[in-house]
Amino acid sequence: MRSCIEKLLQSVEKALPILCLRKVFQMGDTRNTELNKQVTIKDIAKKAGVSQATVGRVIGGYGSVSSKAKEKVLKVVKELNYVPNSIAQSMKNKRTKTIGVVVGRFGNPFFSEIVNAIEVAGAKLGYNVIISNTDEDPKKELECLKTLYSKQIDGIIIATTLSPDTVLDAASKKFYSGSIPTVYIDRELPFLQELCVLTDNYFGAYKATEYLIEKGHRNIGIIAGTNTSTMHRRIEGYKRALMDNNIEPQEKFIRFGEKATVEEGRQFTSDLLINNQDMTAMFALNNQLVTGMLKAINDMKLSIPTDLSVVGWDDFELAQIVNPPLTMVTQDTEKIGTVATEKLIEIIHSKDVESNALGERRIVFNAHLIIRESCADRKVEWI
Amino acid sequence: MRSCIEKLLQSVEKALPILCLRKVFQMGDTRNTELNKQVTIKDIAKKAGVSQATVGRVIGGYGSVSSKAKEKVLKVVKELNYVPNSIAQSMKNKRTKTIGVVVGRFGNPFFSEIVNAIEVAGAKLGYNVIISNTDEDPKKELECLKTLYSKQIDGIIIATTLSPDTVLDAASKKFYSGSIPTVYIDRELPFLQELCVLTDNYFGAYKATEYLIEKGHRNIGIIAGTNTSTMHRRIEGYKRALMDNNIEPQEKFIRFGEKATVEEGRQFTSDLLINNQDMTAMFALNNQLVTGMLKAINDMKLSIPTDLSVVGWDDFELAQIVNPPLTMVTQDTEKIGTVATEKLIEIIHSKDVESNALGERRIVFNAHLIIRESCADRKVEWI
DNA sequence: CTGTTAGCGCCTTCAT
DNA sequence: ATGAAGGCGCTAACAG
C-alpha cells in the first residue's frame, strides 16, 4: 500500500498530456506581436479614418458624433481589442480611481475581512484597491503612505499603527491629514479631524467584563497589544466595569504587548496563570491573542470553563463549534469596511465639487457580546 | 450593575477632550493650500533656479550635475516636500511598479495568507499590489483582468476561476496569456504556457486517503467545490488511492459544489451522513468546507472520531487545539505567495531585457499530512 | 459634427 | 555641466 510513488508520477504525467505542450508552442507565436503592443486612440483613429478627438468622443460618450462615424469607431475598437490606458487618463484628469488600504497585517482575519469588504464596495463604485502592510511599524507605515501618495491614489483607508499620543512633524502630518481624502478605521488619532469608522471598543469591553463580574468573577486577567486607541479603550472599558462594581483594577492582571500576536497571547496567558493562582477568568482582546490564549490553556492542560472562564474578542466561525463554544465580543468587519469605503468615496467626490468633508467625525458601531459556554458561574462564599 | 450607560457616555466624552476639536479647526487651515497641491519638478526647478532637466538628473541620479546645483535642488526638494508623481513616470517609462492579484475571495484565509505573502514579497522588490475579488465568477474575473490591464499593471498573479476545459475566445485569451507577465497560483489552465505555482494536490489527497484506508476505513466521503484543476486533482488523488487499495470509488460518497463555501460544506456533510449510514470517514477539501463539515457534525451531535473520522484540507492555527485536534492536509501559503511574486517579477524584468519566460512551467510544492487525533482505527471484521 | 492642438509631469536626447 | 524640447496616451477647449 505504501510508496505507490511510481504510479502517482505516471498519473500526474498522464493528466497533462503532451498535446498541451504543442499547443503552447503555437501560442508562443502570438507573443510580442501586435496583440502585445498597447492599442492607442491614435491607432483607432487611423484605422477608422477619423480624428483622435472623434474617437475620444465616442469612447468618452461626450459631445456629438455622427452615427456612422460612431459605428466605424466602435467596429475598430472591437477589432483591435482596444482598452483605454488608465494611466494616461489619470495623467489628464487627476484621478486614478484607486484607493489605498493600509493595515498592520493583511493575513490577520480581522483586517482581511475588512479589506475584502473594501474591495467589494470599491469595485461596485469603480475603484480599485492597493493594499499595504505596515507590520505595525510606524516607519513602514509612513513609507507606505508616501508610496501610495506618489501613486496618486484618490483616497486612503488606514488602520494606523500610531498611538493616540504621537507627535507628528509637519512633513509626516501631510500624509496623515489634510492633503488627500482619508478615512481611519478601527483606530483613531484624536488630534486629526478625519473621519474614523470603528467599533465601540469601550462599551464592548465594558459589557464583557460586566458579564464576567455578574458570573461572580473578581480576578479577571486581560491581555492586550499594540499601542493604539483601540486597545486603550478596551482596557478602559474593562477597568471601568470593575470600578463600577467596586473592584479595584490591578496591574498584575493586565498584560500589554507590542504587536498583539499569537505568540504574545500565549506567553501572556501562561504568565498570568502562573503568577496569579487566584485568577478565575480571562479576557483576550483580539483574535490573535485569543488563539494564543487557547494554546497556552491547552498546553497547561487546563479546561474551560471549569478551571478558567474565558472571553475573546473578534468572533470566528469555529468559535461556536469548538468545545466549549466560546463567549466572544464581535464587531461587524463587513460594515466597517463597506461604510469606510462608501464614505471615503463620498469625500473624494465632494472634493471634486466644492471643498470637502462631510462633517462627520466618527462612525461608531456597536460591539456585541455573544454568550456561549466558556464562562462558568463562580460561587463567591467570601463576599 | 446594569445600564450604567450614563456613566459610560460621560467617560466616552471625557476621553476625547474638547481641546482636540480646537486643534482640529486650526489644522483645517492647512487644507487646500500649497501643501495640498502637487509639487512638481517644475516648481523645484523654478525655486532652485535651475532647469527641469537638472532637477530630473538630481532626483533620478543619472547624468552629471555640479555639486552646488545638486545641493540647491535637494534643499528645495526637502523644503517643498516633493514626492515624484508615479503616474507621470509610468506614462514615460511604461511600467507602473504595480502588480495585480486576482482571487476568488480575499476573506478566505487561504487567499488572504497568500496575498499577504505577495504584498510582503512585492514591497521588498518595490512593487505595490492591487487586489481583485472574482467571487469565483468567470465574467467578473474577465472584468477584473480588463481593469487591471487598463491600469497598466506590470504583471498579474491569478488563482483563476476558470475550469481547465474552458474554451477561450481570442479576445479573452489576450487577458490570460501572452500579453502581460502572468503567474497562475493554486489552479492551472493546461492550455496555457504561463508559469503556475501550486501545491501537489493529487499527492496530498492520495496520502490523506491512504491514511484513512490504513486506519481501516473503506467508505470515505469527500466534499469538494469550484470547478478548478485544484479540486479535480484532489478528487483524482482520492479515487486513485482507493483503487490502488482495491476499493471502487463510488459517486454516492462524493459531493462537488459550486463555490466551496461553508454553507455547501454543511449541506454536503449532512447530506452524506444521512444517505450513507455505512460511511465511517470524511474528507473536506478546503478550509471553508472543513468549517461547514464541522458545523454539520456538531449539529447532528456526532462525535469525532468515535462516530466519524475526519480529515480536512488547509491547516489553521486552531486545528491543533480544538477537541479533538484535527488531522489536516496543509499547504505552504506563504511559499506559494512569495515564490509566485518573485518569479513574476523576474519575468517582468527579463521581459525588459530580451524576450521573456523563464522556461519554467510549474513549481509544485508538497502537501503535508499532519496527523492529529480526528481519525479512529476502524476494526474491519468483514474483510 | 469634426479636426487641431495644447497640455498633464516626467524623462531623456540633443545641442550648447 | 546644463537647458530646451519632444513625447508617452488621453482629454477637452477651441476653431472650423
Residue A28 lies in a domain: no
B188 and B209 fall within a common domain: no
Residue A256 lies in a domain: yes
B165-221 per-position pLDDT tens digit: 999 998 899 999 988 999 999 999 999 999 999 999 999 999 999 999 999 999 999
Greater model confidence, B303 or B4? B303
B235 and B278 fall within a common domain: yes
Residue A10 lies in a domain: no
State chain B's mean pLDDT as an integer: 88
A326 and A205 fall within a common domain: yes
A56 and A132 fall within a common domain: no
B282 and B246 fall within a common domain: yes
Say whether pLDDT at A14 is over 50: no
Q: Which residue type, as a one-letter code, is found at position B261?
A: T
B71-81 per-position pLDDT tens digit: 999 999 999 99
B284-334 per-position pLDDT tens digit: 999 999 999 999 999 999 999 999 999 999 999 999 999 899 999 999 999
Mean predicted confidence (pLDDT) in B372-378: 96
Residue A80 lies in a domain: no
B318 and B209 fall within a common domain: yes
Q: Determine the distance in angstroms separating the CA of A194 from the nearest CA of chain B, rounded to an integer.
A: 9
**Residue bearing cell 485569451:** B173
B210 and B190 fall within a common domain: no
Residue A131 lies in a domain: yes
Buried (b) or exposed (e) across A239-260, using 16+ Cβ within 10 A? Answer: bbbbebeebebeeebbbbbebb
User: B64 falls in which pLDDT band (50, 70, 90)?
Assistant: confident
Question: What is the span of the domain harbouring residue A49?
Answer: 38-75
B9-58 per-position pLDDT tens digit: 444 433 333 223 323 333 333 333 333 578 999 999 999 999 999 999 99
Q: Which residue type, as a one-letter code, is found at position A334?
A: E
Q: How many CA atoms lie within 13 A of A212 on its CB side?
A: 33
Q: Identify whether the C-beta of residue A223 lies closer than 8 Å to the C-beta of residue A282.
A: yes
Residue B134 lies in a domain: yes
B233 and B301 fall within a common domain: yes
Say whether pLDDT at A64 is over 90: no
Output the distance from B86 CA to C16 C1' rounded to whole Å.
Answer: 31
Using a 7 Å cut-off to protein CB atoms, list the covered nucleotides of chain D: 1-5, 7-13
A181 and A293 fall within a common domain: no
Say whether pLDDT at A21 is over 80: no
Q: What pTM, to 2 d.p., does this model score?
A: 0.90
Q: What is the pLDDT of residue B358?
A: 61
Residue B3 lies in a domain: no
Neighbours of B353 (CB within 10 A): 7
A222 and A205 fall within a common domain: yes
Which DSSP category does B374 fall into?
A: S
User: A354 falls in which pLDDT band (50, 70, 90)?
Assistant: very low
Show residues, CB within 7 A, near nucleic chain D: A 38, 40-42, 52-53, 56, 59-60, 62, 84-85, 88-89, 91-93; B 50-54, 57, 63-66, 68-69, 91-92
Greater model confidence, A63 or A150? A150
What CATH code is carried by the domain that includes residue A111? Answer: 3.40.50.2300
Cβ contacts (< 8 Å) between A150 and chain B: which residues?
A: 83-86
Among A47, A75, A103, the domain-final residue is A75
Instruction: State the total domains in chain B.
Output: 3
Question: Is residue A156 helix, strand or coil?
Answer: strand
The dihedral region occupied by B188, where left means phi > 0, alpha psi between -120 and 50, and beta the remainder, is: beta
B215 and B325 fall within a common domain: yes
H helical segments located in chain B = 5-15, 18-28, 41-48, 52-60, 67-80, 86-93, 109-124, 138-150, 170-176, 201-214, 229-244, 262-275, 287-299, 333-353
Q: Which of A36, A178, A244 sits opposite B27 (nearest CB)?
A: A178
Q: How is the beta sheet containing B368-370 ordered, strand by strand?
A: B254-257, B220-225, B281-284, B309-313, B327-330, B368-370
Residue A375 lies in a domain: no
What CATH code is carried by the domain that includes residue A59? Answer: 1.10.260.40
Mean predicted confidence (pLDDT) in B84-91: 96
B141 and B242 fall within a common domain: no
Q: Which residue of B has its CA nearest to A26?
A: B193
Q: What is the pLDDT of residue A382?
A: 53
